[in-house]
């Protein structure tokens, strides 16, 4: 089923939780709403579910209008046939696993034998076979999450909604369930909306990501494009571009742009034309796109390659797959780098050279 959201708006008092947004979700697509808390992503999802009444706008699920302000349509939640997994799991503690999962089918007046069959099948699908009679309050967090998933799948919903479903789990379990969730969704091909503030989760799960801020849609792209081409410095920051520095355009050379870093006056080359930015521009680089190598403390800086900065290591921190470094290039210019080579002899105080290839040097409008 497709989901169509037009000009949706919801205000609480004076603040607009959603400031008139338009989103289209294609059949079988997994759309992730990504943004910091209070950006309107959860409100958007709750409007789709019908748990929240928008002020104006239009929502259609699979071509069926479920909300339209102008036509006075607002289909109650229980008639929208959406599946939803809540952040708090919302597993009913006074029921067994089976009773929790069979509830939607009972509400739909499905026959007893059919209920038994479908609940058994779905519990098997989520890996909870044999848990039927377990009291819901005796489950672990991960198990509750699976029950919640089973409960929303069993009714064969037109769409699935996920409200930060993994945020209450510990890191290992979260990674594990994330993979399973993606597998299940691609296998069942259910149109889904997933709300999260975790960029890693968003990138891993999404067919398409909608970045929201202050109730507006800031960018709408597939994960790869979003990751490599964030549209603004705020989005870049949110996506883990930890090196973001004020810069000014100095000149254009063919297909590339030369900028000067405001902090130390160093020139950097970036691919492509400079962006339009009313408030100036910033130069950004992801820490894992930076090449770091040890140099002699007294070496001349003249014969270093293009786009290379020299600085002293302030911090070296081993994080398993990478070494994380903070490097002071200038008093107001601290860079962050992630190096795959964790054995390199780079310590606090080591003089290093940082190189960013022009393709990875991103110029964005400042906000």
Partner 1 sequence: MQFTHTALGRNLVRISVPALLYAILAILIIVPCCMVLYTSFVDVAPFSASRAPNFTLANFAALWRPENARALTNTLIMSVIGTAISMIFGCGMAWLAARSDIPWKPFIHLAGIMPIFVSQLIAAVAWALLASGKSAYLNMILRQLGIPLELEIESIGGMAFLLGLYFTPFPYIFLYSALTLVNPDMEESAAVHGGTTRRILGKITFPLVKPAIIGSMLLIFVFMVEDFPIPQILGFPAGIETLSIRIYSLMSTAPANPNQASAVAVFLTAIVCCLVFTQRAILKGRDYRTLTGKGAQARMIPLGKLRWFAAAFVLLYFILAVGLPLFALIQGAFRPNLFIRDLASLFDITQMTTKNFVNILNDRAVYAGLLNSLIAGGTVAVFGVGLYFIVCYVVNRTDLPGRQGLEYIAMLPLAVPGLVMALGILWTWVAVPLPIYGTILVIIVSFIGKFMPAGYRVISASMHQIHDDLEHAALVSGASRAQMVRRITLPLLRGGVVSAMFLMIIFGLRELTSSLFLYTANSRVLSIVVFEKLDDGSWSGAATVSLLYTLLLAILALVGRKYMRAAL
Stretch that binds partner 1, among 103-111, 117-125, 212-220, 358-366 (CB under 8 A): 103-111
Least distance CB 356 / partner 1 (angstroms): 45
Non-local CB neighbours of 75 within 8 Å, separated by 6+ positions: 50, 65, 66, 67
- To 10 degrees, the CA torsion angle through 62, 65, 69, 74? -110
- Footprint (CB under 8 A) of partner 1, residues 251-290: none
Nearer CB in complex with partner 1: 108/188:
108
Report whether 53 contacts 215 (CB < 8 A). no
Report whether 166 contacts 94 (CB < 8 A). no
According to the binding rule CB under 8 A, does residue 104 interact with partner 1? yes
Stretch that binds partner 1, among 149-157, 187-195, 325-333, 334-342 (CB under 8 A): 149-157
- Footprint (CB under 8 A) of partner 1, residues 42-101: 49-51, 53, 71-73, 76-84, 86-90, 92-94
Nearer CB in complex with partner 1: 7/53:
53
Nearer CB in complex with partner 1: 32/84:
84
Nearer CB in complex with partner 1: 41/286:
41
Least distance CB 65 / partner 1 (angstroms): 11
d(CA 116, CA 101): 10
Comparing CA positions, the residue from 126, 168, 166, 167 lying closest to residue 147 is 126
d(CA 285, CA 237): 10
Nearer CB in complex with partner 1: 35/104:
104
Least distance CB 67 / partner 1 (angstroms): 12
Stretch that binds partner 1, among 147-155, 226-234, 322-330, 355-363 (CB under 8 A): 147-155
d(CA 199, CA 227): 9
Least distance CB 149 / partner 1 (angstroms): 12
Q: Give the Å distances, CA to CA, from 126 to 130, 138, 145, 150, 202.
A: 12, 18, 10, 7, 21
Total residues contacting partner 1 (rule CB under 8 A)? 32
- Footprint (CB under 8 A) of partner 1, residues 193-212: none
Least distance CB 25 / partner 1 (angstroms): 18
Nearer CB in complex with partner 1: 25/147:
147
Least distance CB 211 / partner 1 (angstroms): 25
| 97, 155, 338, 362: which one binds partner 1 (CB under 8 A) | 155
Least distance CB 117 / partner 1 (angstroms): 18
* End-to-end CA, the chain: 37
According to the binding rule CB under 8 A, does residue 152 interact with partner 1? yes
Nearer CB in complex with partner 1: 74/324:
74
In degrees rounded to 5, what are phi and psi of residue 313? -75, 125
Nearer CB in complex with partner 1: 93/280:
93
d(CA 258, CA 69): 50
Instruction: Please return the burial class of 120, using the count of CB atoms within 10 Å of its CB with bins 0-12, 13-18 and 19+.
Output: middle
d(CA 26, CA 181): 19
Q: What share of the chain is helix, strand, coil (3-state, %, to 5)?
A: 25, 35, 35
- Footprint (CB under 8 A) of partner 1, residues 105-124: 107-108
The token pair that represents 263 in the structure block: 């902090």
User: Which residue bears the tokens 């290379």?
Assistant: 308
According to the binding rule CB under 8 A, does residue 214 interact with partner 1? no
Nearer CB in complex with partner 1: 163/201:
163
* 3-state class (DSSP) for residue 47: helix
The residues binding partner 1 (CB under 8 A) are 49-51, 53, 71-73, 76-84, 86-90, 92-94, 103-104, 107-108, 148, 151-152, 155
């Amino acid at each position: 089923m497709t989901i169509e959201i037009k000009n949706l708006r919801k205000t609480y008092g004076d603040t607009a939780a959603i400031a008139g947004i338009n989103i289209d979700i294609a059949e079988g697509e997994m759309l992730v709403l990504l943004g910091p808390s209070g950006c309107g992503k959860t409100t958007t999802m709750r409007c789709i579910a019908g748990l929240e009444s928008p002020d104006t706008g239009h929502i259609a699920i699979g071509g069926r209008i479920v909300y339209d302000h102008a036509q006075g349509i607002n289909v109650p939640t229980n008639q929208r046939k959406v599946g939803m997994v809540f952040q708090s799991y919302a597993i009913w503690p006074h029921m067994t696993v089976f009773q929790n999962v069979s509830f939607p089918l009972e509400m739909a007046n499905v026959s007893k034998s059919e209920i038994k069959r479908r609940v058994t099948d779905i519990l098997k699908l989520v890996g909870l076979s044999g848990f039927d009679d377990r009291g819901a309050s005796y489950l672990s967090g991960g198990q509750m999450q699976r029950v919640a998933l089973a409960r929303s799948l069993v009714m064969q919903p037109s769409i699935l909604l996920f409200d930060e479903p993994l945020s209450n789990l510990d890191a290992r379990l979260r990674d594990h369930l994330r993979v399973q969730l993606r597998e299940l969704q691609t296998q069942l091909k259910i149109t889904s909306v997933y709300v999260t503030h975790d960029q890693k989760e968003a990138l891993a799960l999404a067919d398409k990501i909608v970045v929201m801020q202050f109730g507006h849609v800031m960018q709408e792209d597939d994960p790869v494009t979003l990751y490599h081409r964030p549209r603004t410095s705020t989005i870049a920051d949110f996506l883990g571009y930890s090196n973001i520095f004020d810069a000014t355009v100095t000149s254009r050379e063919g297909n590339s742009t030369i900028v000067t870093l405001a902090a130390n006056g160093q020139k950097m080359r970036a691919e492509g034309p400079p962006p339009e930015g009313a408030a100036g521009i910033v130069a950004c680089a992801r820490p894992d796109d930076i090449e770091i190598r040890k140099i002699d403390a007294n070496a001349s800086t003249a014969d270093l390659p293009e786009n290379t900065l020299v600085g002293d290591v302030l911090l070296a921190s081993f994080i398993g797959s990478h070494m994380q470094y903070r490097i002071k290039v200038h008093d107001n210019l601290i860079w962050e780098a992630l190096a795959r080579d964790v054995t390199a002899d780079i310590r606090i105080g080591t003089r290093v050279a940082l190189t960013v290839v022009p393709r990875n040097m991103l110029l964005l409008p400042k906000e």
